[in-house]
């Protein structure tokens, strides 16, 4: 199918066990190669949206299709194969702190091996080469053997980006990738994410608190409030008033952060 969306949500609702409605009747289509930013106040449902897409949590109603296949209904091997096509970037980097940078990047390949092989550290020479090349792409080739916890926050996030590149997914979900970084470092990390989007055609969906970064890097913006999509449009056609509105009429650009 030529024009099939890369990510499709059909009437998706997520109600947590305690009754909190995380997502309410979401319908959304994201095409291959889009760079979409999700904005909204703390508690709006941004993380719930991302966690639902790769099924880190199950949804209550509806269906989510990844490149035409339902991740909602997938089981076993099918689920693993769909998940391999989805890379994740977290605010907290999620690196194995005491392992080398190279090892961390190599874990991007784990899903391509049967489990017993990775237990015995049998990554192929090709994969080591891939990992090294990914580190070159984020300018960290000189840190290959450095322990992850000896890097700065920005460098650690770029290792996570190299790991995603090594995984070679169709989609990258980034949950506030720059929330613990200073503005300049944030821009560098976003730049590397944009590189994966533009040069490798990976579809990116990123939750961001910073309107400034959203504007600079997003092609499309989705505004979320109380589990619903309240805005969806091209970034170039989105006036500042939309952001002011999503953030409750306040002008401060880093708003969501105040509630954490």
Ligand X SMILES: Nc1ncnc2c1ncn2[C@@H]1O[C@H](COP(=O)(O)OP(=O)(O)OP(=O)(O)O)[C@@H](O)[C@H]1O
Q: Which residues bind Mg ion (CB under 5 A)?
A: 46-47
**Residue number with CB closer to ligand X (162 or 206):** 206
> Which H or E run includes 133?
helix 125-137
The whole-angstrom separation of Cα 117 and Cα 142 is 28
| 48 contacts ligand X (rule: CB under 6 A) | yes
User: How wide is the angle at C-alpha 230 spanned by C-alphas 227 and 233, nearest 5°?
Assistant: 130
Which CB contacts under 8 angstroms, 24+ apart, belong to 197-201? 197/33, 197/35, 197/172, 200/165, 200/168, 201/32, 201/33
d(CA 60, CA 105): 34
Q: Are 152 and 101 in contact (CB under 8 A)?
A: no
**Binding piece for ligand X, criterion CB under 6 A, among 5-13, 41-49, 111-119, 136-144:** 41-49
Nearest distance, CB of residue 175 and Mg ion, angstroms? 6
If binding means CB under 6 A, how many residues of this protein chain bind ligand X? Answer: 14
Cα 114 to Cα 258: distance, rounded to the nearest angstrom: 44
The mark string for 71-110 relative to ligand X (x by CB under 6 A, - otherwise) is ----------------------------------------
Which range, of 16-24, 79-87, 129-137, 159-167, touches ligand X by CB under 6 A? 16-24
CA atoms 145, 176, 80, 126: torsion sign: negative
Beta carbon nearer to ligand X, 52 or 238: 52
State the minimum distance, in angstroms, from the CB of residue 256 to ligand X: 5
Binding range to ligand X, per CB under 6 A, among 36-44, 96-104, 156-164, 243-251: 36-44
Q: Which of 42, 124, 136, 236 binds ligand X (CB under 6 A)?
A: 42
Task: Give the three-state DSSP class for 6.
Answer: coil
Choose the one of ligand X, Mg ion, none that binds residue 218, judging by a C-beta under 5 to 8 angstroms depending on kind. none
Compute CA distances 45 → 7, 109, 175, whole Å.
17, 30, 11
CB of 42 to Mg ion, least distance (A): 7
Candidates 1-9, 39-47, 197-205, 246-254: pick the segment binding ligand X (CB under 6 A).
39-47
- What does the DSSP 8-state code read for residue 239? -
Contact residues toward ligand X (CB under 6 A) are 16, 18, 20, 22, 40, 42-48, 256, 260
């Amino acid at each position: 199918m030529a024009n099939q969306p890369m990510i499709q949500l059909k009437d998706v609702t997520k109600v947590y066990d305690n009754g909190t409605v995380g997502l309410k009747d979401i319908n959304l289509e994201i095409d291959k190669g889009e760079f979409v930013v999700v904005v909204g106040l703390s508690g709006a449902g941004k993380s719930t949206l991302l966690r639902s897409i790769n099924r880190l949590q199950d949804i209550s109603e509806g269906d989510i299709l990844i490149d035409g296949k339902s991740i909602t209904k997938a089981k076993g091997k099918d689920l693993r194969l769909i998940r391999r096509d989805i890379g994740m970037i977290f605010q907290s980097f999620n690196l194995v702190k005491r392992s080398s940078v190279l090892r961390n990047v190599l874990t991007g390949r784990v899903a391509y091996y049967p489990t017993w092989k990775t237990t015995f550290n049998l990554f192929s020479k090709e994969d080591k080469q891939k990992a090294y090349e990914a580190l070159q792409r984020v300018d960290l080739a000189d840190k290959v053997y450095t322990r992850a916890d000896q890097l700065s926050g920005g460098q650690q996030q770029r290792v996570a980006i190299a790991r995603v590149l090594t995984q070679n997914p169709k989609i990258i979900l980034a949950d506030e990738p720059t929330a613990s970084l200073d503005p300049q470092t944030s821009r560098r990390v976003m730049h590397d994410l944009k590189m994966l989007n533009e040069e490798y055609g990976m579809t990116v969906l990123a939750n961001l608190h910073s309107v400034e970064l959203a504007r600079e890097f997003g092609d499309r913006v989705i505004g979320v409030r109380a589990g619903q999509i309240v805005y969806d449009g091209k970034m170039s056609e989105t006036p500042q008033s939309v952001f002011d509105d999503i953030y409750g009429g306040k002008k401060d650009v880093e708003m969501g952060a105040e509630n954490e």
